[in-house]
Amino acid sequence: MPVVVCAYGEVGHAGLAELLDLHADVALVVTHADAPGEKIWFHSVAELARSAGVPTILPADVNSDEAVAAIAAVHPDFLFSFYFRQMMNARVLALPTRGAFNLHGSLLPRYRGRAPVNWVLVHGERETGLTLHEMDEKPDHGDVVAQHRVPITRDDTALTLTRKLAAEARLLLREAYPALVAGVAPRTKQDHAASTYFGGRRPADGAIDWTRPAEEIRNLVRAVTDPWPGAFTALRGRKLLVWNSETRRVTPGGPPGTVLADPDGRVLVATGDGALELVDVGWEGGVRESGATWAKAAGVVAGERFDVSPAA
C-alpha cells in the first residue's frame, strides 16, 4: 500500500517519523529545500527520509510535470501533507487511489490558512490542536478524519507550542493511519459557516503598538519570539527586538510607549491599559540580554519614549 508523504518542518518530521514507525510503505517523500536566510531550527524531513532509505525529491513546485510524474510513478494509495508549504492542484490530489490528507495545525474550521501556531498565540487562545482532513483544492476545507486538542498555557511560545503539536501529531497518526488503511476512518463535514481564515505573517507584523493592552502586546511577543523574527519597537531611531515580556500592574506614568520609573530596576513601558516589562531584549543585530542589563548599558531613563508603532 504505497504512501507518498509531502512534509516539512518540525511537525512534518514528526508525521513522517510516525508513519515509518507504523511500518507504512512510504514510497516517496516530497519536501522543500531550505530557504536561503531562513533560520533552520527544526529537524530535517529530507535527512530522515534518506536515513530510512526512502526516495526523496525537493521540487520547486509540487504541481510541476516532473513532480507529478515522480508521484504517479509509485502508484500511491495515500498521499499525506504534513506542514508542506505548497497547495496541491487537482492533478496531484487525484493520484492517490484512496485519498489525499492534510494535517493542519488548528482545530478546523477555525484558523484555516497560514501560520496557525502564531495566530492562536497572537489572539490569546487557550486551546488549539491538529486536524487531519481530506484535501481538496480549497485550503483546509475537506472532511475531517481526526482531531486532537492541545492546551495552550500562558507561557507557551510559538516554539513550545510547535513542539507540543509535533508530539501530538504522532499520537493522532498512530490512531488515524490504521483506521484509514482498514477503511473505517470517519469523515465529518466541516461547518464552513464557522470557519476563520488567516494569511501568512511577515516580519513586519511584529511591530509593537504601545497603545494596545499590555496582555495583547505580550501575546504578540510570545507568538513571534525566537526562532521567529521577533516583536520589535524602536528607541532613539534604533530597532529593538523584544524576546520576552510580562504584564505589570502599575499606574501608567505617561502616554503609551513611555519608559516608567521602577524602584526594582525593571524596564517598564506604558501601554494602552497599564505597563509591560521588557524581560529580554536586544538591539537589531546585537545580543539578547535582560531588559535591565540592556537599559543600563544603553543609559535608558524614565520618561523616554519608544515609537508607538515603529516601521519595520
Place of cell 516517496: 28
CA distances from 146 to 101, 106, 129, 187, 292 (A): 11, 12, 11, 8, 47
The runs of H, that is alpha helices, within 106-263 are 116-122, 158-182, 214-224
Q: Cell 490504521 appears where?
A: 178
Q: What pLDDT is attached to residue 310?
A: 67
- Grid cell of 88 as nine digits: 496541491
Cα separation, 83 vs 58, in Å, equals 15
Q: Select the more confidently predicted residue: 262 or 310.
A: 262
Mean pLDDT of 225-243: 96
In which band, very low, low, confident or very high, does the pLDDT at 137 lie, cut at 50, 70 and 90? confident
Measuring CA to CA, which residue among 77, 90, 92, 91 is closest to residue 30? 92
Return the half-sphere exposure (C-beta side, CA atoms, 13 A cut-off) of residue 224. Answer: 23
User: What are the backbone dihedrals phi and psi of residue 209, each rounded to the nearest 5 degrees, phi first?
Assistant: -105, 105
Instruction: Find the length of the chain.
Output: 312
Query: What is the predicted pLDDT for the residue at 25?
Result: 98
